[in-house]
Structure 1
């Protein structure tokens, strides 16, 4: 007879909703919508129906990548993470692979609803996800491939919006740089022992954060460009008030920098597996303030605030389900 810790055979194959939530890493899904929203903002368009289709496509492709990742890593996870849904037997490997295929097909269908330009971006995005999970992640090309996937996801939002896609390239580059750094660190999260990688990631994070801080915060311009005080009186000249949009952008840039840099600094000082994994989690969480800051930089404060609100939801669910 089965013990109290065993499950009926059919549940071992199909899994419960909680098992699938763990497999697909539900808290990490909140880091996805901001890609398309930041892309639309960078392209100079407000979010619309096509943006929603792009977000749906991104969510499906992201979940497909999660399921495919665990399917490809099931043998390795049996040693390093035996509690995961596949090595523990809660979900059958074939079920995870089928889910990855179905989610990919649905993601491409949603991209097609967003328009041909969006589909032209979604196809290489899906190909990058599959190529990463099935082989690239074990080679030097792994981090660049993951960075390319995140960058393409932002471009997908720009393409779906109908705006100028080329204007989204700087935002896609910033998002890609951050993803490259986090992915490089994640390759050592179960072994630790590498100081150089989190140090390089910390430097990259600081560089990305610096590009997000508006110049108006660093130096307020005098009201009189000639440098004279009002009415010719001596003393300092009054400074122009900092625009509210710049303050929002600076606050989001600070939130991004703190969220990503603090755990990375800890991993630099002590590159143990637990602290390295915390650095990876911090990098994933930092995606939301990064996306919000990119939207604010593009002049879309409402989109930035909407994106930043996802951080609270991600944090709430992360207490129950790991994002890695």
Structure 2
């Protein structure tokens, strides 16, 4: 064997390429922040804006950006607060697996919270007055309330406030958005209650109660009269046509909400195992999109309803790559 061949036979170690390392880091952050769930956020502000009778404007966009930041702050803070539990039950998560440092997750949560409040402030004082308790609720839930009986109610409050943020940013008042906020909060309460059994399974009572709540909300959505919304400024014939179109769209979206949320809940009620419970929670999260769109349609905001509904396919596609729960 020649010296050259001797050198070539020596074992070598291959270090990962920079691009592979960057890709792994990006995926870890996508898992930490549960990026597919982001598609369920813009509909909050759009549904809230629809209740004001105004078209979405620059302040609505600022409210959406604020909501996205505060939502992702909650995702990062959630995993930071759950490090010990995840090390036992979900060791593959980014923090217990060592792919992201806990200090980086906490820094991200703090920076995103500050950014969310700054964006809300740019949308006006009424918006900031809603964003501040929303941020406080997010932090209180992750750090103190999550494992208490008040946990689901805190999460529901946060989601309701998120819808009110869109209303106050767009129209300056939260009052017209209260019924829609209550509807969204009720659905969130049911999904969060079910989520408490997603790692260990449990009783079928929570999925059954959530299934009943889904049916009740669907009945309310289709029975509540449509708000006048922007149709008041139209010619009577055009207003009637718009009203009919909005009612038809509302019925379709309500059916999509029932299907997306109800089917996995039924499976979890029949067999409350961890995999089926996780699937029910994921379905409940994705069902927020047709629910938000139906709420916008109920307010007569066809464009906002269609725009919100268009987010559902993207949420479904990305959820195949990164879990939303």
Confirm or deny a common fold (TM above 0.5). Answer: yes
RMSD of aligned alpha carbons: 2.2
The answer for unaligned runs of 5 or more in structure 2 is 1-12, 226-242
Matches within 5 A, 1:137-286: 137-214=146-223, 243-286=244-287
Superposed displacement of residue 165, structure 1: 1.8
Maintained 8 Å contact 2:268/2:280: yes
Larger mean Cα displacement after TM superposition, 193-202 or 145-154: 193-202
- Counterparts in 2 of 1:36 and 1:215: CA distance versus 1, 3 Å: closer
Q: Secondary structure at the match of 1:213?
A: helix
Runs in 1 of length 4+ with deviation above 3 angstroms? Answer: 3-8
| 2:228 alignment counterpart | none
Q: Secondary structure at the match of 1:138?
A: coil
Rounded Cα–Cα distance in structure 2 between residues aligned with 1:5 and 1:122: 46
| 2:234 alignment counterpart | none
Q: Deviations over 1:133-162 (max 9, x none)?
A: 001011000000000000000000000002
Maintained 8 Å contact 1:30/1:313: yes
Rounded Cα–Cα distance in structure 2 between residues aligned with 1:243 and 1:57: 33
- Counterparts in 2 of 1:173 and 1:7: CA distance versus 1, 3 Å: farther
Task: Give 1 or 2: higher helix fraction.
Answer: 2
- Counterparts in 2 of 1:156 and 1:215: CA distance versus 1, 3 Å: closer
Maintained 8 Å contact 1:45/1:163: no
| 2:106 alignment counterpart | 97
- Counterparts in 2 of 1:5 and 1:209: CA distance versus 1, 3 Å: farther
| 2:70 alignment counterpart | 61
| 2:310 alignment counterpart | 309
The answer for unaligned runs of 5 or more in structure 1 is 217-241
Rounded Cα–Cα distance in structure 2 between residues aligned with 1:185 and 1:23: 21
Maintained 8 Å contact 2:51/2:167: yes
Superposed displacement of residue 164, structure 1: 3.8
| 1:123 alignment counterpart | 132
Superposed displacement of residue 7, structure 1: 11
1:77 aligns with 2:86: yes
Q: Secondary structure at the match of 1:83?
A: coil
